[in-house]
């Protein structure tokens, strides 16, 4: 999966992510509300990507990892609906077309 030179939250639009299958994802919404992040994380039709190293190194999250990831994100989310600026995670929504959605979780140390 394509790496970013900085986290998606700081990139100028349009922000595109190319996955390993060759699908081009376009950033639709930055800093989604925690409730929207939860819905996408629980929606198995949506792809979930964890951007490690401050959001710059994306990797696809396996279905079995999602519940454990939600346990971490829900209490340490710094976006809307979360714990504020002190949180470790921030979420963005990407779309490939009208039917394909992706949750991109930036992980900050």
Question: How many C-beta atoms lie closer than 10 Å to residue 78's C-beta?
Answer: 18
Instruction: State yes or no: pLDDT of 65 exceeds 80.
Output: yes
How far, CA to CA in Å, does 12 sit from each of 20, 52, 73? Answer: 23, 20, 25
> Which residues, in sequence order, are CB contacts of 59 under 8 Å at separation 6+?
1, 49, 50, 52
Alpha helices, DSSP H, located in the chain: 34-42, 52-55, 66-74
pTM of the predicted structure, to 2 decimals = 0.93
Average predicted confidence (pLDDT) for the chain: 93
Identify the band that residue 86 occupies on the pLDDT scale cut at 50, 70 and 90.
Answer: confident
């Amino acid at each position: 999966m394509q790496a970013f030179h900085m986290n998606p939250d700081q990139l100028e639009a349009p922000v595109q992510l190319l996955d390993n299958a060759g699908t081009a994802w376009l950033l639709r919404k930055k800093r989604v509300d925690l409730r929207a992040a939860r819905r996408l994380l629980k929606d198995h039709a949506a792809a979930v990507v964890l951007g490690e190293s401050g959001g710059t190194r994306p990797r696809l999250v396996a279905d079995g990892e999602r519940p454990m990831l939600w346990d971490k994100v829900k209490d340490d989310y710094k976006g809307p609906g979360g714990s504020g600026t002190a949180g470790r995670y921030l979420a963005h929504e990407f779309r490939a077309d009208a039917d394909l959605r992706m949750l991109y979780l930036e992980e900050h140390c």
